[in-house]
Amino acid sequence: MRFLAPALLLGIVAAALPYLIHRVGKRRALPVRFAAMQLLLRSERRVHARRKLREILLMLARTAAAASLPFIFARPFSERATDLPVVTLDAQAAVILVDDSASMQRTSGGGTLFGRARARAQALARQFPSDSELAFLVTSAGAPPRIGELEPDRARVIEAIESTRCSARPADFTSAMRQAALILAPSPRAHKRVYLFTDLQATGWEDGAGLPAEGAPEVIIDDVAAGAALENRAIIEAHVEPSAEGGPGSIAVTAEIADFSARGVPALGVTLRVDGVAVAQGTVELSPGGHARKRFLHSLAGDGSSSHDLVVEIDGDAFPLDDRRQMHVEMARTLRVLVVDGDPRTTRNEDEAFFFEAALRNGVPGALVTTKLGDDVPVDGLGAYTVVALLNVGRPAQALAVALERFVETGGGLFLAMGDRVDTSLWNERMAKLLPQPLGLVRTASALPGQHTGETVDERPAERLLPLDRRHPLLAAFPEQGDGLVSARFFKYVLLDPVRDTAVRNVILRYESGAPALVEREVGKGRVMLLTTTVDREWTDLPIRAGFLPLVREAARRLVGASDEDSAATLLVGEPRMLTFSGDLQTLEVTRPDGSVWVGKREQAGATRTLAFAGSEQIGIYRVRGAGADETFARQAAQDFAVNLDPRESDPARLAPEKRPDRIAVRTGGATPPKHRIELWHLLSAALILLLLVESLLALRWRRAAAVEDQVEAKAEAKAEVP
Amino acid sequence: MDLARLSTLAVRARTIVEGALSGVHRNLHPGTSLEFTEHKEYAPGDDVRRIDWKAVARTDRYTIKRFENETEMRMLLVLDTSASMGYRRTSVSKLEYATYLCAALAYLVSQQRDAAGLLAFDHTTRAILPPSTRPGQIREVLAALESLRPSGVANADRAADAVNELCDKRSLVILFSDLLDSEDAPAGPTAKGQLADRVRQLRARGHDVVLFHLLDPDEIELPFDELMFFEGMEPGDERTLLAEAGDLAQAFREESANFRERWRTTCLEARVDYRFARTDTPPAELLHAFLADRAGRP
């Protein structure tokens, strides 16, 4: 033990004070000549041992208390060898960063890397001199600061570190370092440091160190992986699609598996589980650092359910989070499209169906597309399809109109595209229950030729679309500027007659004139979408624009009830999930994998009827339930979704030394390890307080015992005096 | 001799007696013989049933008959004057208190024309007055009492020998002492020690023995609550004790109670009338209780 102010130890002479006081007290004894010495001496013999013990105890307590004061003022400390950075021994302003990204859940040496990082961060916080100021952040993307300002109370920081749990999010060191630098910037202290506890995975540093060019704090990185080259094998991608090979209800599940090691695996086991049951198994061969793809075919037909949870697993390793990938599939969403070609041409690229089919086949992998002429439509067989598209159909038969009504009301999707063959009057008569708005006149754009400089495709007068309202889920996937869509030119389109109740239809796209371009309407359980121009190049150049394919893809998926992208049913951790209040739903409940529940209300969704769920922090399947005004909840299996690990976290590649932001060596390679100073004065202070408390309690207890005895005796005497 | 002080003691004795006799009209030693010896003028303390009404009718004075047994009553007051009897702090000393009681009893007995004597002792005999009914006896007793000062160490042997010499007939022997250190005497470490043996012997010789055990309130309760340096009072007593009196109080009270209880038991076994007295008790009250008890005895 050593002392910061050893001169103050001279005060140790104060230890003699209790004894001196005791002696002084003796000299002040009151002399009395007493007759009953015999009784007195007997009494003394009785209490002598007890009194002596009490006196010794009290004397010891008081002497120790008096001696401890100069001892405390001398600020004693002990030193212990530490493998934590030696720079922690100075008073400083410091931000402790703990990597809580998913990769830190890797097990190593009986615990996780995160557990080790947290323990070392706590040890670090304890090691700082008491006049230091600390803040505490975690590095996972989007995580709020735990203690976002410099805090002199170390206990609070240690508690915050203790209560932190490892997330499944990817790392974002750049943001965390930037935040740390901002916290430290206003501090007037000479020493400003950032301590980062991480596995030094390269992921999360893509945008740089995040530190300012000037006045950056010192950065000390504590590599909890101890510089080891970590190995990993992961499923970095998996998707499911309908399979034409296995017939109706058959699916193809494809998993991409990667090896992050220098050894590879000759036969890595891969398993497909459907609703918790292993249905297929196989192996893949992984070359060192290589990728392999495994494809499973499985039939879901006949099991009576359209909603399934799929899991692809590989043999486990030290990082289990990426050894499985989960998916949720809704068979009702599978695209089986019947395209009714109302204006067939012999030249393919002049055919109405050509562009539409091409967009579907390329935009929606696994979509089954069947094309028929208007007269060949099997009105009794529409149930085999999930979407029917009428493209420039001139005069739909009454039977077809009735069949379509039934088809849509039972949940089917209907896409309507206009053209010069459309008999608007007949449509308004036979398709009235399906049309979002009655059809009106055909309008020809009035812009002058050559007005749009640089557009050489066609010099006809044309209109464009108004800027996109990306709040609509169908348009959410488009870039902000609407590239590939707003540049499309429209030469002709059908005007729609006004309707009294505008709430029944929703205008998704409008022309510059304000006329609707794409309108939708819900009918029964299904949905109808009306494009007021053609899907070939006759009235518009939209089919040859880049935006056509995603537009058709999103429209088709929305029509089958997959109002969000199918791919969105499988999210990465932290990504938002758009939920739709279809029908009369007023409340949606999302149950997370750990059982906790999130509740969304219809009034929060606004006109688009969609609400973002941002709580996808856990890996697993999220279940959705919905309730109408009567608050009776029912499963909304179509909106269930799976959340998986961001594949970037699977790559254990270490940050290149030249990109490391630290400038101070962390680990001590020398013969003499740095010593951590443990200040003992606060422990001694606590001991002193305890000592004084004990002394007070002892004295109080003895006095109280004597008083009680006096009272008992007085009562006994009073009782004896009563005749 | 200070006549004023003597007069004060006489007055005090009379006051005590008058207070003590309130409601008590029987003497200390009621007679049992039927052999008439003389008439005596009624005095307070005499049994009113003994008034000779015929004589009253003849002489117009209250006269009572005396019988042989009554005329033979002899009372010897034995007073311990050792140094320990001089302890006082708030009330009178034990010796003063005993003096008052002795004076009152002597006065009462002399009023009844009985014989009263006095023996005061410490390590030697300080005063000795054989029981007598002569007219000047009371004055001599009071004077002797007045002259007593606490000193020395009580010697029970000498006192007992003196009592034997003074009382050749059956007598009422009333002993006043604090009995302190009596248990540490060589003859025995307990209440059945030297003094106890002497008292037992007196009783065996046919004397009616009364023991007034006098203690100061301090010797019962030890009411101090500070650091005290206690020293013995009697000559040659080198015992000292430095102690926090408050720490000792409880044990002291128990020891004191045990001490009294041992003496009470010893006296009961020896058929000695044991009377405990605190010096803060009014003497008249104590005497009244004593006389009342004696009056009730056969």
Question: Per-residue confidence at A139, pLDDT binned at 50, 70, 90?
Answer: very high
Is residue A306 predicted with pLDDT exceeding 70? Answer: no
Among candidates A29, A41, A710 on the partner chain, residue whose Cβ is nearest the Cβ of B242: A29
What pLDDT, on a 0 to 100 scale, did the predictor assign at position A704? 63
Average pLDDT of the segment spanning B274-287: 91
Is residue A563 predicted with pLDDT exceeding 70? Answer: no
What pLDDT, on a 0 to 100 scale, did the predictor assign at position A245? 63
Task: Locate the chain A residue with the closest alpha carbon to B153.
Answer: A35
Same domain, A258 and A287: yes
Contacts of A43 in chain B (CB under 8 A): 222, 248, 251-252, 254-255
Same domain, A505 and A432: yes
Name which of A23, A26, A32, A39 to mutate to probe chain B: the one with the most chain B Cβ atoms within 10 A of its Cβ: A39
B87·A709 Cβ contact <8 A: no
CATH of the domain at A349: 3.40.50.880
What pLDDT, on a 0 to 100 scale, did the predictor assign at position B14? 75
Same domain, A553 and A591: no
A38·B180 Cβ contact <8 A: yes
Q: What is the DSSP string of A453-469?
A: TT--S--S--B-BPPP-
What pLDDT, on a 0 to 100 scale, did the predictor assign at position A707? 61
Question: Per-residue confidence at A566, pLDDT binned at 50, 70, 90?
Answer: very low
Same domain, A109 and A36: no
Count of structural domains, chain A: 5
A35·B87 Cβ contact <8 A: yes
Give the mean pLDDT of chain A: 83
Same domain, A615 and A580: yes
- pTM exceeding 0.80: no
Higher-confidence position of B7 and A546: A546
Least trusted range by pLDDT, from A286-290, A311-315, B64-68, B258-262: B64-68
Among candidates A30, A41, A709 on the partner chain, residue whose Cβ is nearest the Cβ of B228: A30
State the DSSP code for A413.
E
Same domain, A446 and A349: yes
Higher-confidence position of A265 and A702: A265
Higher-confidence position of A88 and A274: A274
| Domain endpoint, select from A268, A286, A317 | A317
Å between A695 CA and nearest CA of chain B: 17
Among candidates B218, B231, B255 on the partner chain, residue whose Cβ is nearest the Cβ of A43: B255
What pLDDT, on a 0 to 100 scale, did the predictor assign at position A424? 92
Q: Which CATH code for domain B74-296?
A: 3.40.50.410
Question: Per-residue confidence at B68, pLDDT binned at 50, 70, 90?
Answer: low
Q: What is the pLDDT of residues A419-470, one digit of tens each?
A: 999 999 999 999 999 999 999 999 888 654 444 444 445 566 788 888 888 7
In this structure, the dihedral spanned by the alpha carbons of residues B288, B291, B296 and B297, taken in order and rounded to 10 degrees, is 150
Q: Which residues of B lie inside 8 Å of A (Cβ-Cβ)?
A: 83-85, 87, 94, 178, 180-181, 183-184, 215-216, 218-219, 222, 224, 226-233, 237, 239, 241-244, 246-256, 259
ipTM for the predicted complex: 0.79
Q: What are the start-end ranges of the H helices in A269-414?
A: 352-363, 398-409
Higher-confidence position of B157 and A539: A539
Q: Does A29 contact B at CB distance below 8 Å?
A: yes
Q: Would you state the structure tokens that stand for residue B230, as one six-digit string?
A: 């206690």
Question: How deeply is B122 buried, as exposed, middle or buried, from its count of CB atoms within 10 A (0-12, 13-18, 19+)?
Answer: buried
Is residue A114 predicted with pLDDT exceeding 90? Answer: yes
What pLDDT, on a 0 to 100 scale, did the predictor assign at position A438? 93
Question: Per-residue confidence at A615, pLDDT binned at 50, 70, 90?
Answer: confident
Question: Per-residue confidence at A565, pLDDT binned at 50, 70, 90?
Answer: very low
Residue A64 backbone phi and psi in degrees, to 5: -65, -40
Question: Per-residue confidence at A703, pLDDT binned at 50, 70, 90?
Answer: low
Among candidates B94, B227, B252 on the partner chain, residue whose Cβ is nearest the Cβ of A29: B227
Least trusted range by pLDDT, from A280-284, B17-21, B174-178, B257-261: B17-21
A47·B239 Cβ contact <8 A: no
Residue A317's closest CA among A235, A238, A255, A239?
A: A235
State the DSSP code for A486.
T
Is residue B119 predicted with pLDDT exceeding 90? Answer: yes
User: Using an 8 Å Cβ cutoff, are B232 and B239 in contact?
Assistant: yes
Q: Does A614 contact B at CB distance below 8 Å?
A: no
CATH of the domain at A89: 3.40.50.410
- Considering the domain boundaries, does residue A579 fall inside one? yes
The answer for A643, left when phi > 0, alpha when psi is -120 to 50, beta otherwise, is beta
Question: Per-residue confidence at A339, pLDDT binned at 50, 70, 90?
Answer: very high
Is residue A484 predicted with pLDDT exceeding 60? Answer: yes
Residue B45's closest CA among B69, B16, B74?
A: B16
Same domain, A9 and A128: no
A36·B219 Cβ contact <8 A: yes
Average pLDDT of the segment spanning A4-25: 71
Q: What is the pLDDT of residues A486-534, one digit of tens each?
A: 888 898 999 999 887 767 788 999 998 889 999 999 888 789 999 999 9
Q: What is the pLDDT of residues A188-202, one digit of tens each?
A: 888 889 999 999 999
Question: Per-residue confidence at A86, pLDDT binned at 50, 70, 90?
Answer: low
Report the Cα–Cα distance between both ends of chain B, in Å, rounded: 41
A35·B180 Cβ contact <8 A: yes
- Considering the domain boundaries, does residue A326 fall inside one? no
What pLDDT, on a 0 to 100 scale, did the predictor assign at position A679? 72
Domain limits for position A634? 567-644
Is residue A19 predicted with pLDDT exceeding 80? Answer: no
- Considering the domain boundaries, does residue A552 fall inside one? yes
Among candidates A32, A38, A40 on the partner chain, residue whose Cβ is nearest the Cβ of B183: A38
Task: Locate the chain A residue with the closest alpha carbon to B94.
Answer: A35
Is residue A564 predicted with pLDDT exceeding 60? Answer: no
B218·A34 Cβ contact <8 A: yes
Is residue A229 predicted with pLDDT exceeding 60? Answer: yes
Same domain, A366 and A508: yes
A41·B232 Cβ contact <8 A: no
Is residue A305 predicted with pLDDT exceeding 80? Answer: no
Higher-confidence position of B33 and A291: A291
Our measurement of the distance from residue A9's CA atom to the centroid of its chain's CA atoms, rounded to an integer in Å, reads 56
Same domain, A284 and A367: no
CATH of the domain at A623: 2.60.40.1930
The number of beta carbons lying within 10 Å of the beta carbon of residue B278 is 17
Q: What is the pLDDT of residues A619-675, one digit of tens each?
A: 999 999 999 888 889 888 878 899 999 999 999 988 888 888 875 444 444 445 566
Q: Which helix (H) or strand (E) covers residue A173, if one does?
A: helix A173-184
What pLDDT, on a 0 to 100 scale, did the predictor assign at position A302? 54
DSSP three-state, residue A44: helix
Same domain, A418 and A391: yes
Is residue A85 predicted with pLDDT exceeding 50? Answer: yes
Q: Does A671 contact B at CB distance below 8 Å?
A: no
| Domain endpoint, select from A509, A533, A559 | A559
Name which of B88, B122, B252, B280 to mutate to probe chain A: the one with the most chain A Cβ atoms within 10 A of its Cβ: B252
Same domain, A134 and A43: no
What pLDDT, on a 0 to 100 scale, did the predictor assign at position A667? 45
Same domain, A402 and A490: yes
Q: Tokens 């008590």 identify what position?
A: B24
Q: Where are the domains of chain B?
A: 30-72, 74-296
What percent of chain A stands above pLDDT 90? 32
Name which of B234, B248, B276, B285 to mutate to probe chain A: the one with the most chain A Cβ atoms within 10 A of its Cβ: B248
What pLDDT, on a 0 to 100 scale, did the predictor assign at position B74? 86
